Every structure is written in C-alpha cells, then in structure tokens.
Homo-oligomer: A and B are copies of this chain.
Amino acid sequence: MALDTARNLVADDLAAMEKKMQKAVGDAYDPLADALGGLVRSGGKRVRPMLTLLAGRFYPPDDHEKLISLAAAIESLHTATLVHDDVIDGALLRRGHSTLNARWTPSSTIMAGDFFFARAARLVAETEHPRVIQMFARALEVIVDGELRQAFSARDWSQPKASYYDRIYGKTAALFELATRTPAILGGAPETQEEALRRFGYHLGMAFQIVDDILDFVADEATLGKPAGSDLRAGIITLPLYFYIQEPERQAQVIEMMESRPTGDPIVDEVVQMVRESDAIDQALEEARAFVDEAMADLESLPAIPARDALADVARYVVERTF
C-alpha cells in the first residue's frame, strides 16, 4: 500500500504523536477519559498528521517536539470537527463503528467536541510560534465558515461549481494546507518553499474531498462505515451530483424526486444509482486527478529527500484508494 511507505518513514513521530494525544485525553475527567480515549485510539488513517510530519522533514524545526505538538494539534482539530459533524449530520456510523453520538447525548457530544478544540488550542500553543498559532486560528474560522456554507446551501440545486469548491476548501483543504504549511513556518523554510508545501496541501485536500464525495455515491455501506448517499440525503450537492444535474432533464427529474415527494431512503438510493451509472462519476474523478497532478507539480521545487517521495505516494493514494 502506498500509504504504508509514507507511514513507515515517520512511524516514530506518529507514535510520539499518538502518545501525546492519549496523554492529553488522560487528563480529562474520568468518566469521559475512556470515551475520548476510544475516540483517539479509533483514530482513522492519520493522513493529516502524517502530512505534517512528512512536511516537517524538509526544514526541521530546532525543537522536534514542537513538530509533534503541531501534528497532534492538527489531528485534535480534525477530531473536534468530526465529533461536532456527528451531531450536525446525524450520522450514526463513522469510520465503521458507532460514534460518540450514538452512545452519548447530543449535549455530551458537543462538549466532547469542545474538549478536542481545547486540546488543539493547547497543543498548537506549545509551538510558541505566533504566526503558526494565528494560521491555526484562521483555519478554524475557514472550517466553521465551510460548515455554515454547507448548511445554508443545502437543496440549492442551481448553485455554481464554485460554491462546491468553496465549501470543500473549508471542509477539508484548509486543514490539509495548514498541515503541510505550518511545519515549514516552524522550521523557518524560505517563503517559496513554504508556499510550495501550502499549495501541495491545498491541492491534495481538494482531491481528497472530491474522492470522498465520489465514494459517497459508488462505495458500499461496509466500506464507507455509513450508508451511501448521506450527503444527498442531507440535501448537500457534491461534485458527482453537480455534474449529473447539469443536463436540464436530469436536473428536473432529481428536483422532482427530492422535493416533490417525501425524501425517504428509497428515493435517495434511486438517485444515487442514477448518478453512479452516469458519466458524472468519471467527470468528478477527472477533476480529482487534475488536483493531484497539481499537487505532484508542487513537489517538484522541494528538496529531493525521501519525504518528498512519501508525499507523492500519499497524493497517489488519495485518488487510488478505492478505484
């Protein structure tokens, strides 16, 4: 697996980060520590902190520990938004197991999300680097703004493609670009190199989210850890659906199906099936690949160290992960 090579390269750093995240949770009020610890341990693929740790190899900061804190801060922020998303989108399954939300009340889930926000704030503060901290705060604003845009643009069937791109920037690419840019700042990289790493993270994040949105149409429930079509069910228009409804007849039919009758799962499943069998999937995949090509190009100006190859592997993984 492409991701394993990258992971092995920074295995020690990832382990140090896990330890730091677990430690942060261990301080929590006891009845909670278990639940939060489970959330930290369940952990997903750690793609974002892996990017931070790899990006940190080009211009290593004087204090390596600060890079570990930064990676843990990035992952904690990601966890916070995931936990709140669970309340927001009502998804009962994520990463293939029952979420905090299913076991807890909404209010304790809100608090658990806030808890990870607080941990993220403390961890990034450990870098003691004002510009890194400011960028972190700014990214959080962009992320929340993206969530709000998503909520407010639901069921707007005629929104332009740019709205989708704005939203996925906030939803995913802003954190990816933070993950690859801030280690460069911490290490005092030249501005052009910081910019190359930022762009790499941005392009990769955009591709990552497009692929996620494609998977929501083509993957099965077992792979997704939640039913397919969950965005559609919430009225969120992602790239595959966007392409599908560019044909006026298809658009009219989708609107009729989604708006004129009560939107139950059978209707969502039907629309998912229609999109899945259309050319819209390939069109969306093509855009994801274009972003990955851009990400690959961004790497060219960086020093040719093993971390650069590893970042290229991660980029390839993003578009190959299920196709």
* A119 at interface, CB cutoff 8 A: yes
With beta carbons under 8 angstroms apart, the residue of B31, B84, B125, B138 that contacts A134 is B125
Is A15 close to B, CB under 8 A? no
Q: Which residues of B have CB within 8 Å of A297?
A: none
CB atoms of A137 and B149 under 8 A apart: no
Other-chain residue from B28, B133, B140, B151 in contact with A117 (beta carbon distance below 8 A): B140
Which chain B residues lie closer than 8 Å to A130 at the CB level?
A: 125, 128, 130, 133
Is B111 within 8 A of A151, CB to CB? yes
State whether the Cβ of A88 lies closer than 8 Å to any Cβ in chain B: yes
Cβ B141 vs Cβ A111 within 8 A: no
Interface flags, A2-18, vs B, CB<8A=1, else 0: 00000000000000000
Indicate which residue in B29, B137, B143 contacts A125 across the interface (CB closer than 8 Å). B137
Binds B, one of A102-110, A205-213, A252-260, A308-316: A102-110
Residues of A24-40 contacting chain B, CB below 8 A = 27-29, 31-32
Specify which of B29, B88, B113, B149 is in contact with A145 (CB 8 Å cutoff): B29
**Within 8 Å CB of A106, what residues of B?**
87, 106
A121 within 8 A of B: yes
Contacts of A140 in B (CB 8 A): 114, 117-118, 121-122
Q: Which chain B residue has the least Cβ–Cβ distance from A121?
A: B137
In the bound complex, do residue B121 and residue A151 qualify as a contact, i.e. CB atoms below 8 Å apart?
Answer: no
Find the B residue at minimum CB distance from A31. Answer: B152
Answer yes or no: A82 CB below 8 A from chain B CBs: no
B115 near A117 (CB under 8 angstroms)? no
How far is A105 from B136 in the complex, measured between Cα atoms in Å? Answer: 28
Number of A positions contacting B (CB below 8 A): 42
CB distance from A76 to the nearest CB of B (A): 11
**A279 CB to closest chain B CB, in angstroms?**
32
Tell me the bound Cα distance from A117 to B114 in angstroms.
Answer: 9
A148: interface (CB < 8 Å): yes
Contact assessment for B31 and A147 in the assembled complex, using a CB-CB cutoff below 8 Å: no
Sample of 15 more A-B contacts, CB < 8 Å, known A88-B107, A111-B147: A28-B145, A31-B152, A87-B107, A87-B110, A108-B148, A110-B110, A114-B144, A115-B141, A117-B117, A117-B140, A122-B140, A124-B137, A125-B133, A125-B137, A126-B134
12 residue pairs from A and B, CB less than 8 Å apart: A27-B141, A28-B148, A29-B145, A87-B110, A113-B114, A115-B145, A117-B144, A118-B141, A122-B141, A125-B130, A125-B133, A130-B130
The 4 closest A-B pairs by CB, nearest first: A121-B137, A88-B107, A122-B137, A128-B130
